[in-house]
Amino acid sequence: MVLISVEVNGTRHQHDVEPRLLLVQYLRETLGLTGTNIGCDTTSCGACTVLLNGESVKSCTLLAVQADETEITTIEGLGGPDGTLHPVQEAFREHHALQCGYCTPGMVLAAVSLLAEEDQLDELGVREGLEGNLCRCTGYHNIVKAVLACAGGRKTPIESSP
């Protein structure tokens, strides 16, 4: 067992973990933060995306021991402590950017990371920036609209979805 110390959503946690424990299992099973979903479990779908020191990563392809001494943000920690939604969450609600909702936590966190890195985003930039997240309902149109609504340099308005 290896002792790790991780700050998750602003709270410091210390646990002895088995080296092979994946970060996503640590978050879901040790900490009970089940907002992070497991989709494909093969680094493809992005449902398990969390922020590691502010950058999007797929928590199915990271060992919990690799996250030692880092700061993690999951969907539970994105909004304010009083339940206020993060602007990206608000935009997802506003633009109806979800259908079944399974990909949503990962989509939202991937979008937060993308928006932090790119100050000028057009539609293509958003679509490319969300390449690592799959929506099996194929509801991409409204997701892109929601993220564009949060982007400062909105250049290409998207037609309203059918």
Partner 1 sequence: MIPAPFDYVRAGSAEEAISLLVEHGDEAKLIAGGHSLLPLMKLRLAIPAVLVDIGRVARLSYIEERGDEIAIGALARHHDLETSALLKEQVPLLASTAHQVGDPQVRHRGTLGGTLAHGDPASDLPAAVLALGGTLVAQGPTGKREIAAFDFFKGFLETALAVDEVLVEIRVPKTADSGWSFQKFNRRAQDWAIVGVAAVVNGTTGIALVNMGSTPLRATAVEEAVRSGASVADAAMVADEGTDPPSDINASSEYRRHLATVLVRRALEEASS
| Binding interface with partner 1 (CB under 8 A) | 2, 18-20, 22, 25, 41-44, 46, 49, 52, 55-58, 61-63, 65-66, 110, 113-114, 117, 128-129, 131-133
**81 or 113: whose CB is closer to partner 1?**
113
Q: How far is the CB of 46 from partner 1 (least distance, A)?
A: 6
**62 or 103: whose CB is closer to partner 1?**
62
* SS3 label, residue 6: strand
Q: How far is the CB of 116 from partner 1 (least distance, A)?
A: 11
**Computed from CA positions of residues 68, 69, 70, 72, in that sequence, does the dihedral angle turn out positive or negative?**
positive
Q: How far is the CB of 25 from partner 1 (least distance, A)?
A: 8
**21 or 33: whose CB is closer to partner 1?**
21
107-117 in b/e burial notation, b at 16+ Cβ within 10 A? Answer: bbbbbbbbbee
Count Cβ atoms below 10 Å from residue 86 Cβ, excluding itself. 19
**56 or 104: whose CB is closer to partner 1?**
56
Q: Give the helix ranges, DSSP H, for the chain.
A: 23-25, 87-94, 104-117, 123-129, 140-150
